[in-house]
């Protein structure tokens, strides 16, 4: 896992078309925005797990790495 330190207003680039914008720091919480193409799904891990569980049993979902 890559761990990065960023300040408010800075950006983390993921590949050519995804950017994490650091919006706010409040104690131990970080608020960030995700800029990604319309075809890229972005979910919190717990929401994504629910989506995977609700899929048909015949599909083979990709596991989400634990942070």
Residue 52: predicted pLDDT:
86
Structure tokens, 32: 């960030």
- Write down the pTM of the prediction: 0.72
For residue 56, the model assigns a pLDDT of 59
Provide the total of helices (H) and of strands (E) in the chain, helices listed first: 1, 3
- According to the model, what pLDDT value does residue 55 have? 78
What confidence score (pLDDT) does residue 3 get?
Answer: 94
At residue 14's C-alpha, the angle toward residues 45 and 62, to 5°, is 40
| Residue numbers of the chain with a pLDDT score lower than 70 | 56-64, 67
Q: What pLDDT was estimated at residue 58?
A: 54
Predicted pLDDT of residue 51: 86
Q: Enter the tokens of residue 53.
A: 């569980």
Within its chain, how far is the Cα of 47 from the centroid? 11
């Amino acid at each position: 896992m890559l761990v990065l330190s960023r300040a408010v207003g800075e950006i983390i680039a993921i590949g050519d078309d995804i950017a994490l914008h650091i919006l706010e720091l409040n104690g131990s919480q970080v608020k960030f925005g995700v800029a990604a193409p319309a075809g890229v799904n972005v979910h919190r891990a717990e929401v994504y797990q629910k989506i995977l569980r609700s899929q048909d049993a015949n599909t083979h979902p990709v596991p989400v790495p634990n942070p």
